[in-house]
Amino acid sequence: MGPHVYALLMYTHAFVGKRVKAAVVGANGYAGMTLVHLLARHPEVELTQLTSRSFAGQPYSAVFPLLDLEGTFSTEPKPDGLDVVFSCLPHNVGAGKAGRWLAAGARVVDMSADFRLKDVRQYPTWYKQEHPAPELLAKAVVGIPELHERELKDAQLIAVPGCYSTASILALAPAVAAGLVGSDIVVDAKSGVSGAGRSLGMGVHFSEVNESLGAYAIAGHRHLPELTQELEALTSNALRVTFVPHLVPMTRGILATCYFDLKGSLADLQAAYKKFYDGQPFTKVLGQSPTTKLASHSNLCLVNVAAQGQKAVVTAALDNLVKGASGQGVECFNVAFGFDRTTGLEAVIQWP
């Protein structure tokens, strides 16, 4: 047995018979709320701290009336004694705090974009400021278990990717890895309104989005660089990706439809997807194009592989708050702490 495996076994053994002490920072947003619902029923987790600036001093029941959670929201977590911090803070906010949590001995699962991009030079372009903690970027593992399960087992800092990028990466990874993409890639993606978060804004006002469908961020969406980064890691070729998101008047769900010229046959492409996702508990290849409702409230990503002549058409559907965010965060947590990947993720999430 090598020292690396031995260390991992010893670390996993440390949690046998006791529950992992966890905090959720920013627990009143959609991602935070979904995390709390998942972790509250996780058999290996003890939720010890929930933070929220807007609900500070109020009981947990003010946000979670149906959960049997006792405690009061604080503004900042106390990291001493914590095993893991789930950070649901806005972009550019949690990065400056993560170092302190790590130094206190907690592992960090970050739900924002603060650690997704490996190239520090991209943050001013996509997030309008220099990175607050560039020294931590090399430590971060992108939280896609289908691609990075091995690295996640030792990760101290996990960067859960965005909802659009998760759907698009899982839709395209097998084709890219198998060398079956023969052209530029076009991704047409559509999301429910909860993907914009819980904060008020004209762009997600009911009267603005109801009975309406529109594209946005046409000049470039911030999930595009993480999508390109993860796909290019699977090939020696540079990729050109056009990504256009759309807002759909529904609460939750993402459908990504991906187009590219096909190298080889449709049978080759379908075989590549079947092999790539063989044994994966949450990414399923279907014989029909999936709908968002099929994946809704679950940690599933449902993929269909088809073609029109030599133009491949791959669709992927997932729930933007579960597999596209908090469910994938818990899945990564399970891998990092040596639990079964499906633990705490079998039942559906009802809110929002």
Q: What is the pLDDT, as a whole number, of residue 187?
A: 98
Cα–Cα distance measured from residue 97 to residue 103, given in angstroms and rounded to the nearest whole number: 10
User: Which pair of structure tokens corresponds to residue 221?
Assistant: 């969406």
Mean pLDDT of the residues in the chain: 91
Among the ranges given (3-7, 259-263, 317-321), the one the predictor scored with the smallest mean pLDDT: 3-7
66 three-state secondary structure: coil
Report how far residue 322's alpha carbon sits from residue 349's, in angstroms, rounded to the nearest whole number: 8
Q: Which residue would you say has higher pLDDT here, 336 or 201?
A: 336
SS3 196: helix
* Cβ–Cβ < 8 Å for 172, 258: yes
Q: Is the dihedral of CA 236, 160, 30, 132 positive or negative?
A: negative
115-154 pLDDT, tens digit each: 999 999 999 999 888 999 999 999 999 999 999 999 999 9
Between CA 52 and CA 58 the distance in angstroms is 9
**pLDDT given at position 137:** 96
Show which residues are catalytic: 163
Pick from 103, 81, 101, 99: which is nearest to 25 by CA? 101
| 318, 7 Cβ separation under 8 angstroms | no
| CATH class entry, domain 164-320 | alpha beta
Query: How many Cα atoms within 13 Å fall on the side-chain side of residue 341?
Result: 19
Q: 77-121: per-residue pLDDT in tens?
A: 999 999 999 999 988 888 999 999 999 999 999 999 999 999 999
Angle (CA) 43-88-154 rounded to 5° is: 60
202-211: long-range contacts at Cβ-Cβ below 8 A with a sequence spacing of 24 or more?
203/247, 204/247, 209/247, 209/249, 210/249, 211/249
Residue 2 has pLDDT above 80, yes or no: no
Question: Which ranges in the chain belong to alpha helices (H)?
Answer: 3-13, 30-40, 95-103, 123-127, 145-152, 163-177, 206-209, 224-232, 266-276, 292-295, 327-336
pLDDT band at 352 (very low <50, low <70, confident <90, very high): low
State what percent of residues in the chain have pLDDT above 90: 82
The better pLDDT of the pair 321, 196 is held by: 321
pLDDT value at 279 more than 70:
yes
Tally Cβ neighbours within 10 Å of residue 62.
13
Mean pLDDT of the 13-35 span: 85
Q: 321 near 349, Cβ under 8 Å?
A: yes
* Average pLDDT of the segment spanning 230-251: 95
Of residues 5 and 136, more confidently modeled: 136
Pick the more confident residue, 347 or 291: 291
Which pLDDT score, from 0 to 100, does residue 109 have? Answer: 98
Indicate the DSSP class of residue 163: H
Flag whether pLDDT at 292 surpasses 80: yes
CA 347 from centroid of its chain's CA atoms:
18
Of residues 26 and 17, the one with the higher pLDDT is 26
Q: Do 315 and 260 meet the contact criterion of CB atoms below 8 Å apart?
A: no
Residues of the chain within CATH 3.30.360.10 domain(s) are: 164-320
pLDDT for the residue 204 = 67
**Dist CA 127 CA 133 (whole Å):** 14
**CB of 240 closer than 8 Å to CB of 279:** no
pLDDT at 295: 95
CATH 3.40.50.720 domain extents, the chain: 3-161+324-336
pLDDT band (50, 70, 90) for residue 11 = very low
Question: Mean per-residue pLDDT for 177-193?
Answer: 96
Q: Before 352, cis peptide (omega within 30)?
A: yes
Rounded to 10°, the helix 224-232/163-177 angle is 20
Residue 348 has pLDDT above 80, yes or no: no
The pLDDT of residue 212 is 82
Mean pLDDT value across residues 238-256:
95
Phi, psi of 54 (to 5 degrees): -75, -20
Task: Report phi then psi at 208, rounded to 5.
Answer: -85, -35
Structure tokens at 175: 């084709």
Task: Report whether 50 contacts 85 (CB < 8 A).
Answer: no
The whole-angstrom separation of Cα 268 and Cα 37 is 41
The pLDDT-based confidence of 200 (bands split at 50, 70, 90) is: low
What mean pLDDT is predicted for residues 228-251? 95
The pLDDT tens digits of the residues spanning 37-80 come to 999 999 999 999 999 999 999 999 999 999 999 999 999 999 99
Residue 83: partners with Cβ closer than 8 Å, 6 or more residues away: 15, 20, 21, 22, 106, 107, 337
Q: Cβ–Cβ contacts within 10 Å for residue 212, how many?
A: 10
User: CATH topology for 3-161+324-336?
Assistant: Rossmann fold (3.40.50)
Sole residue written with tokens 């130094």: 103
- The pLDDT of residue 201 is 63
The predicted model scores a pTM of: 0.91
